[in-house]
Amino acid sequence: MQPKEPAREGRLPEDTDAQSIELNESAVDLQDVLSGDFDASQGDESPVAYKRVLPPQQDMPKLHKVLAQAGVGSRLDMERLILEGRVSVNNEPAHVGQRIKFGDTVRVNGKPIRVTIAPPPMRVLAYHKPVGEVVTHDDPQNRPTVFRKLPRLHQGKWQSVGRLDLNTEGLLLFSNSGQLANQLMHPRFGLEREYAVRVLGTVTDESKQRLTSGIELEDGPAQFLTLSEGGGEGANTWYKVTIAEGRNREVRRLFEAVGHAVSRLIRIRYGSVVLPRGLRRGTWVELSPRDVGQLAAAVGLDANPEPVRRPGSKGPGRAPGRPTGRSPNASQRRGPAGGASARSGGGQPDPMRTSLGYIGADTIAQQRKAQQQAKKRFKR
């Protein structure tokens, strides 16, 4: 039985026995923002403290174990060879207890050894970015970055799926797979971004027509796929918009082009991954393996590639993240709660829609059940 992954600040432990729930009941929508529930859920209540359990590092096995599995000798014999300095990793002397990762070159007595190491599994985080954080690993102005709150990876690094500017909040996805991140951003798949936008004043019907038919910006034409009014108070009005691109400050620039300044901008959906209701600013939740598999398949990738023998294997293993040849199903049409409209000239396929609901439903169900169980334990 595998031990559960450690709980970190901003994350709830997984419960693989959780029952699925409808995602539409757990996704942030414009009505949550208008009613005040969105901001009310971001209270100062401290997260429940969970017991930290160290998981096995399956993607970084110990060197002597890998050599024994490769048939070089017993584990004790391998430890002795390592102590004698007869084993090297990437042309550097090995040490007892050393862990190796996918892509490392192992030699015994100068001879390359064929070892089988599984590439690290694809992981995806859904992060609720607050205003004031920048999406960069190294900021010259020393401003807080989104990466400082993410869990540490033993190999590789987190890559953001797109960006949100300093004054924009909401859903931001991260993956340890650069190929998955690039595919999710690629214009070929046309994954929609949905935002709740508060602007000064009310957009006229003529301006709405311009925003949805196309406006020439300094870096080319741009348009909203959908634009619906959500109401508001005083001089401010809320709108829900969808866009199929990720150009710099595109939503803000479109509204500015028709004379309206954006005073608040919240991304509530990326493709079919939604901002979970109750996920606090500055915290994250990791998508379940089932959700990650659906997400990868939607852009033609395999979330569980076969192990690859290193080096010079004659086996049939394939490289990690290699496209599987599957393409998004163009017959599937988007229809999330809150209404969905199509591009002019026909409906837009939603490659991330599945027969089981929108991607993320399994993760949110597990999160909610784990949260309820944690509260019960805390009260005891």
Residues pairing with 128 in the sheet? 171
Spatial distance between the Cα atoms of 282 and 131, rounded to a whole number of angstroms = 9
The candidate with the shortest Cα–Cα distance to 118, out of 368, 271, 319, 377, is 319
Choose, from 17, 165, 219, 291, the residue flagged as catalytic.
165
Burial class (CB in 10 A: 0-12, 13-18, 19+), 53: exposed
DSSP type of residue 300:
T
Spatial distance between the Cα atoms of 309 and 181, rounded to a whole number of angstroms = 25
- What would the two tokens of residue 243 be? 């866009």
Spatial distance between the Cα atoms of 112 and 106, rounded to a whole number of angstroms = 6
Q: In what order do the strands lie in the sheet with 87-89?
A: 92-93, 87-89, 106-108, 111-112
The candidate with the shortest Cα–Cα distance to 338, out of 41, 90, 33, is 33
Spatial distance between the Cα atoms of 82 and 168, rounded to a whole number of angstroms = 52
The candidate with the shortest Cα–Cα distance to 177, out of 303, 16, 43, 87, is 303
- The SS3 assignment for 127 reads strand
- The SS3 assignment for 234 reads coil
Residue 265 to residues 132, 279, 358, 373: CA-CA distances in angstroms? 13, 17, 23, 34
Determine contact, residues 371/12, Cβ cutoff 8 Å.
yes
Question: Is 165 a residue of the active site?
Answer: yes
- What would the two tokens of residue 91 be? 């042309």
The candidate with the shortest Cα–Cα distance to 186, out of 256, 246, 254, 110, is 246
Alpha helices, H only, 145-191: 178-185
Query: Which residues are designated catalytic?
Result: 165
